[in-house]
Amino acid sequence: MNVEPGPESSYTADAVITGGTFFGTVIQGRYITVNLQPQLQPARTGLPRRSPTFVGREAEATALLGLWAADEESEGPVPVAMITGMPGVGKTELAIQCARRALERGYFPGGVLYADLFGYDEASRLTADAVLYGFLRALQVPPEHIVGDRQFLSALYFSILDRYAAEGKRLLVILDNASSPDQVRPLLPPDERTGFLVTSRNTMAVLDAQLIELNTLKPSDAVELVDRSVRHSRPSDGRVQADADSASTIVRLAGYLPLALRIVAAVLIREPGLPLGDFEAEFAEEHRRLDELQVDDRDVRAAFHLSYRRLSAAQARLFRLLSLNPGNDLSSESAAQLDDAANDQTRRTLRDLLDAHLVMVTAGAAERWSMHDLLRLFAAEQPEEPGERDAARVRLLEHYLDRARDLDRTMRGAPTAESSFEDRTQALTWADAEHSNLVSAGAMSIASGERRYAVELALVLAVYLTTTHRLKDAIDVGAQAAAVADDALVKARIINNLGIAYFRHGDDAAAARAYRDAADVFQSLDAARLYGIALNGLGQALRNLRRFDEAIDAFRQAIGVFESLGIAQLVAAGLNGLGTVLRARGEIPKALEVHEREMRILVEIGDEAGQSLALNSLGQLMVRAGRFEQAAEYHRRDLELNERLGDDLGQARARSNLGIALRDLGDAAAAAACHRQAAEVLGSLGDRRSEAVALDDLGLDLMAAGQPAEAADMHRRAAEFHGSVGDKFKQAGALDNLGTALSAAGRYAEAADAHRQDWEVSRSLGEAEDAASAATAMAVALEAAGLPHDAMRAYQAAADLYRELGDAVKEEAMLAQVRRLGGDGS
């Protein structure tokens, strides 16, 4: 079945449902298989257990469930719902209780997706991108497909939610503890059939949500909560009912806040012999002390103090140290490093803290632990033993660094016998779970004066972060490490890695700056191999910036360095880059000579992966020379080689370039098939730059096949991507193609706008001839759209540009059009 995109989306979701399995595309040409489960399981999607002692929120629960029930009956749009209230008031528990009841009543047959955003804990706060990754894994999207930018991943996520809803299995999405709309909006589905619930301390008017506002509990409900909590664990314990006056005072001192009340109940459960009157007196004294100190949130802090004072020395110590973890949760193994104890001993202590309601088990993960942000702040404020926190911080950083080293070696295909990981899959699973800790550990180490950890973490995380396309994290981690690195060689290595991240992100200007800075340092330190590698990267960035003379110089210098070192494989890499620049400059014979030399070297050393790149370059060169049959043959050989090597990226590249040769040979259908398949794989691998190029080529195939409307969709997507990363040359080309396709489809006003954008981009690049061509095409489209006055002005703009270029013939041709439309044509 075909599903048309919404008015604000440029994506399509073409899907067929058979036997409970969803085969769908999110971006045309990209096919992804996702198992459509009958219902998402809470263990996979992260929905926490509900409390068995929930009281006092029936009115709010009824209101929220009523929203969902009404929508279930009417099949109308599901409103966004938001639970708001002060810290500790029970927003999360209400959300969980209502979600469980909604599942039981069949309001959301597909299940629930839940994420705690940690919005009010600066160290642990999750971005929308991080949540998106977790949701896609919960939805059974294979990890290899969860790469690319937010635009693609959001489209994939929205498409899956929409398919669940279309099959009568709509989902409920819960975002807990959101602090800003930026955490929420990218995850808000446009289908209006998926349930969406947010909890926050803030009212976010921009979400246009229906609000459920929570206040503190009524006094009677607060007493009932404590009583039910105690009786749940100790059914015969009647202290709360037997001493109503003390109970009333205790809940008042706790501010009627559920968080504080549950901690009070935990104290009573752990001390069954403690008279309620004695506890009241102790609580009142703690409250007075905090009042004298003018402490904010004294109601809840008084409860924290009472519970904390009852911990054993070992329990209190671990509680304090848990606040050091830089991310949003940590494993039992990491906690043991903080604790400087055996894993089993630390697990027992963690369970004691869990019983005291001072830590939580991370939803969906049995061996990971987290803290309420108020408790984390409280733990960080408690007095420590001399040097306690500093020593624990170093142990934790050493632990993360040691594992990250193993991760790096595994990612590079060179694990040691003592590695923590059996294989790449296990390493990636660990890294994904620890992602927030790994990327935050560097900042923590810098803040504490232990900057060497930030520096080494940046080095050993670079391959993981770039390979998994977490490029923003790669840039952030690298930049902060480069700013504090003392060793010049190490700093240059980090900057060179930044160049790689910028290049893959599509920011060629930033990549060129980073590569040049790294190269200068490597040269000054006589680090010849690294110098050559940085020069080679610089050449690639300069080539994409169309600074061809500088790119040629960089590649030739790199080749000279590699030749002096006798590293044939790197000599070939430099020759490949040099050949691509010569081809771009139209120096076909020179480029052919360079690539043939490259191929001879690669055959001699038996480097098949390198031979693939050489075949690719030779094929592109033959297209440029108009020798299309020979080009197709090179690309077929390249495709066969990559199929044998099992290289998905290489196969996609070969198919994309084979498609160009086939189109030039007149086989538009075969060309389109190549480009569709190439775009699919490139997108799934996160190579958005190459995917956009393939989509632009697919548009040309569709034009050649007489499908201009479909072609326009491809060109628009390509233009939008190239524009988003600042690649103005490719953006201008895609806009030109878009305008041509729209005109062929009879959509002249849209075509004129595309050519106008092309004209503006070309002028900004100083490409006067391209700008003149765009102005001419804009004028033709405007005239076809019935706008002669606007067309006349566009012809005049083209004439002015041709005058600047000294092309009198074309200038006069444009002025003739101006006169034809009623202008003076001077």
Q: Where are the domains of the chain?
A: 40-213, 219-309, 313-383, 384-483, 746-826
365 pLDDT above the threshold of 80:
no
Task: Name the band, by pLDDT with cuts 50, 70 and 90, for residue 191.
Answer: confident
Name the CATH architecture for the domain at 313-383. Orthogonal Bundle (1.10)
Average pLDDT for the chain: 88
Residue reference for tokens 């503190």: 216
Where is pLDDT greater, at 632 or 287?
632
Integer Cα distance of 475 and 471 in angstroms: 6
561 pLDDT above the threshold of 50:
yes
Query: What pLDDT is attached to residue 22?
Result: 33
Is the distance from CB of 96 to CB of 48 less than 8 angstroms? yes
Where is pLDDT greater, at 525 or 684?
525
73 pLDDT above the threshold of 60:
no
Maximum separation of any 2 CA atoms in the chain, in Å: 104
* Tokens describing residue 608: 């098949």
Integer Cα distance of 817 and 481 in angstroms: 60
Integer Cα distance of 152 and 680 in angstroms: 12
Query: What pLDDT is attached to residue 357?
Result: 83
Q: What is the mean pLDDT of the segment spanning 98-125? A: 88
Q: What is the mean pLDDT of the segment spanning 805-819? A: 94
Q: 35: buried, middle or exposed (CB in 10 Å: 19+, 13-18, 0-12)?
A: exposed
Integer Cα distance of 92 and 117 in angstroms: 11
For residue 534, CA distances in Å to 295, 482, 486, 647 come to: 55, 16, 20, 25
* Tokens describing residue 169: 């299995």
Half-sphere exposure at residue 329, Cβ-oriented, CA atoms within 13 angstroms: 23
Q: What is the pLDDT of residues 311-331, one digit of tens each?
A: 999 999 999 999 999 998 999
Q: 789: buried, middle or exposed (CB in 10 Å: 19+, 13-18, 0-12)?
A: exposed
What is the three-class DSSP state of 168?
A: coil
Query: What pLDDT is attached to residue 148?
Result: 62
Q: 290: buried, middle or exposed (CB in 10 Å: 19+, 13-18, 0-12)?
A: middle
Q: What is the mean pLDDT of the segment spanning 640-667? A: 93
Is the distance from CB of 495 to CB of 517 less than 8 angstroms? yes
Integer Cα distance of 661 and 701 in angstroms: 11
Give strand ranges (E) for 332-426. Answer: 360-361, 368-370
Which CATH entry fits the domain spanning 746-826: 1.10.3470, 1.25.40, 1.10.238, 1.10.10? 1.25.40
Give just the sign of the alpha carbon dihedral 36, 41, 43, 47.
Answer: positive
* Beta carbons within 10 angstroms of residue 452's beta carbon: 18
Is the distance from CB of 356 to CB of 376 less than 8 angstroms? no
Task: Name the band, by pLDDT with cuts 50, 70 and 90, for residue 76.
Answer: low
Task: Name the band, by pLDDT with cuts 50, 70 and 90, for residue 18.
Answer: very low
DSSP character at residue 223:
H
Residue reference for tokens 């749009």: 77
67 pLDDT above the threshold of 80:
yes
In this structure, what is the dihedral angle of CA atoms 672, 674, 677, 678, given to the nearest 10 degrees?
A: -110
Query: What pLDDT is attached to residue 14?
Result: 32
Q: What is the pLDDT of residues 207-260, one digit of tens each?
A: 888 899 998 899 999 999 999 999 999 999 999 999 999 999 999 988 888 988
Task: Name the band, by pLDDT with cuts 50, 70 and 90, for residue 1.
Answer: very low
Select from 141, 158, 137 the least CA-distant residue to 13.
158
Query: What pLDDT is attached to residue 294?
Result: 56
Q: What one-character-per-residue DSSP string does 445-493 give?
A: HHHTT-HHHHHHHHHHHHHHHHHTT-HHHHHHHHHHHHHH--SHHHHHH
Amino acid at 823: G
The CA-based angle 705-707-711, given to 5 degrees, is 105
Is the distance from CB of 712 to CB of 741 less than 8 angstroms? yes
Select from 174, 132, 175, 139 the least CA-distant residue to 160.
139
- Phi then psi dihedrals of residue 173, to 5 deg: -105, 125
Q: What is the pLDDT of residues 261-276, one digit of tens each?
A: 998 899 899 899 999 9
Q: What is the mean pLDDT of the segment spanning 170-183? A: 92
Name the CATH architecture for the domain at 40-213. 3-Layer(aba) Sandwich (3.40)
Give strand ranges (E) for 233-337. Answer: 330-331
Is the distance from CB of 550 to CB of 565 less than 8 angstroms? no
Q: What is the chain's alpha carbon radius of gyration, rounded to the nearest angstrom? A: 32
Please enumerate in sequence order all residues whose Cβ is within 8 A of that of 177, keeping only pairs 6 or more positions apart, or say none: 91, 92, 116, 117, 118, 119, 120, 199, 200, 373
Query: What pLDDT is attached to residue 504?
Result: 85
Which of 224-233, 359-368, 632-641, 668-677 bottoms out in mean pLDDT, i.e. has the lowest? Answer: 359-368
- Read off the pTM: 0.69
Query: What pLDDT is attached to residue 358?
Result: 87
Q: What is the mean pLDDT of the segment spanning 508-532? A: 97
Asked if the domains at 40-213 and 746-826 fall in one CATH topology, the answer is no
Integer Cα distance of 586 and 568 in angstroms: 27
Give just the sign of the alpha carbon dihedral 411, 417, 423, 427.
Answer: negative
* Tokens describing residue 253: 């001192």
